[in-house]
Amino acid sequence: MKQYRLSSIILGLSLVFSQCKSKQIVYYELPAEMSTDVRTAVQAQCEKGLVLYRLNCAKCHSDTVKGKEVIPDFSPEQLSNYEFRFANKKHEDNLNETQLTQDELVCIIAFLTYKKKNKT
């Protein structure tokens, strides 16, 4: 019984660590003129946006290339269109205000705005 329990714990921990390894670190490109306090606040907003993006957006908008998550670069125009989810029927139906608040959407847009752009 102890051996089974220990095996279960080891398996569980290995699954947790494998999930952690599959998500690479995301870097941000914040304007140099941002004060330290603003930079800290925006970075925290971006981190929250990253988590929300992975929960709500990644299944349709991200890709995996050579085992790494690739988050697309959105233009400022595309991001402004996402602010108005009613402009896209699919988003209006699947990501309404009860599923994703306006504040959460703002965090996702901040994340996508400041994430380091992909190499082309």
Strand (E) or helix (H) holding 114: helix 102-114
Higher pLDDT, 82 or 23: 82
Higher pLDDT, 36 or 102: 36
For 43, other C-beta atoms within 10 Å of its C-beta total 15
- Say what the pLDDT of residue 13 is: 55
Note the pTM of the prediction, 2 decimals: 0.73
- Strand (E) positions, 38-109? 63-65, 68-70
Q: What is the pLDDT of residues 37-60, one digit of tens each?
A: 999 999 999 999 999 999 989 988
Question: Parallel, antiparallel, or unpaired: how do β-strands 68-70 and 63-65 relate?
Answer: antiparallel
Residues 79 and 109: beta-carbon distance below 8 Å? yes
Residues 40 and 28: beta-carbon distance below 8 Å? no
pLDDT band of 18, cuts 50, 70, 90: very low
* Cα–Cα distance for residue pair 30/33, rounded to 1 Å: 9
Q: What share of the chain is helix, strand, coil (3-state, %, to 5)?
A: 65, 5, 30
- Say what the pLDDT of residue 93 is: 74
Higher pLDDT, 43 or 25: 43
- Say what the pLDDT of residue 19 is: 47
